[in-house]
Amino acid sequence: MSFSNRTNLHSSTFILIGIPGLENAHIWISIPFCLVYILALLGNFALLFIIKTDPSLHEPMYLFLCMLAVADLIVCTTAIPKLLSLFWFKDREIRFEACLTQVFLIHSCSTMESGFFLAMAFDRYVAICKPLRHSAILTHTVIGSLGLAIVFRGAVLLSPHPFLLRWLPYYKTNIISHTYCEFMALIKLACAETRIRRAYSLIVAFLTGGLDFILIIYSYILILHAVFQLPSKDACLKTLGICGSHVCVILVSYTPAFFSFLTHRFGHHVAPHVHIFVANIYLLILPMVNPVIYGVRTKRIRDRILKVFNPLKA
């Protein structure tokens, strides 16, 4: 290979085209995206502030919720400002290094979110199935260790992704049919064999999100088994209510995540704009609904919010 060809393995910049076929509607699409992003920022920062300033909320479930809020903020802030710049100012260019950074942060923090969901499910299992040992099992040391393990897992397993992408040639095109950089969108542009890289991505996805989901389902099977053995119906309903917020967030999170994952690899007949819409919904909706669901359904957080806005009743 000549020197000129070596220097053209990939461009210094990529071009994001947004949502294919809907370029004329980008301005209108940006309005709800911007509003949802603002709500996500306000909601998660409010959640972090409330839990940090109220010592009574320094319990496992709320501490894991803080970790989830931080991961949500990183994911949406990594992608949405560039998306809005693309929609508003037609700022389509993104440097290759910035693109790889987006890939790493979005995928690694999404993996961390999945891990925090599993940790929250474990907390619910211990709280319901082993209530007398809850404080002894989930000490602050254990919570911190679990949080670090989840962050470490996401960082280590996803750190090869940028390097796997950097070493590929992209001399045919530098146009990404998406609103942000993601692993599979770049893999499709490569002018080389990518089966090993795709296999690695698939294995990582199963070992993180897939395995987490299986363990979450298993934990709720154990929870339901314990709940239905309670003597009274009221006790059953009250106990199930404790898990309601977590179940809602799980459904909101995993549904678009699995759809996006499966359509990228197997849904060749799914229209591109449908996949991209779902991918953006995953980045935006989850960070917005987490504080809403927990704020509305969790009485202690709801009461704390009401005290902030109406201190005379405190």
> What's the domain count of the chain?
1
pLDDT value of residue 5:
44
| Spatial separation of the C-alpha atoms in residues 241 and 245, rounded to whole Å | 8
pLDDT value of residue 12:
83
Residue 71 lies in a domain: yes
* Residues whose CB falls within 8 Å of the CB of residue 276, separated by 6 or more in sequence, listed in order: 19, 20, 177, 178, 179
Q: Which residue has the higher pLDDT, 268 or 255?
A: 255
Give, as one character, the DSSP assignment of residue 95: E
Residue 227 lies in a domain: yes
* Domain that includes residue 217, residue range: 13-305
pLDDT value of residue 3:
34
The least confident of 50-54, 119-123, 224-228, 229-233 is: 229-233
* Residues whose CB falls within 8 Å of the CB of residue 270, separated by 6 or more in sequence, listed in order: 263
Given a contact cutoff of 8 angstroms between Cβ atoms, the answer to whether 275 and 17 are in contact is: no
pLDDT value of residue 2:
39
**pTM recorded for the entire structure:** 0.88
Q: Which residue has the higher pLDDT, 159 or 170?
A: 159
| Spatial separation of the C-alpha atoms in residues 169 and 186, rounded to whole Å | 11
With CA atoms as reference, report the closest residue to 184 among 296, 122, 260: 260
Strand partners, 94: 14
Interval 241-257: pLDDT, tens: 667 777 777 777 777 77
Residue 281 lies in a domain: yes
pLDDT value of residue 171:
77
pLDDT value of residue 100:
95
Residue 3 lies in a domain: no
The one-letter amino acid code at 4 reads S
Residue 131 confidence (pLDDT) above 70: yes
Residue 311 lies in a domain: no
> Would you say the C-alpha torsion 125, 126, 130, 131 has a positive or negative sign?
negative
Residue 211 confidence (pLDDT) above 80: yes
Ranges of beta strands (E only) in 67-216 are 93-95, 175-176
pLDDT averaged over every residue in the chain: 84
Return the CATH number at 165: 1.20.1070.10
pLDDT value of residue 264:
61
| pLDDT, mean of residues 98-125 | 93
Tokens 């950089």 -> residue: 181
Residue 106 lies in a domain: yes
Tokens 């020197």 -> residue: 3
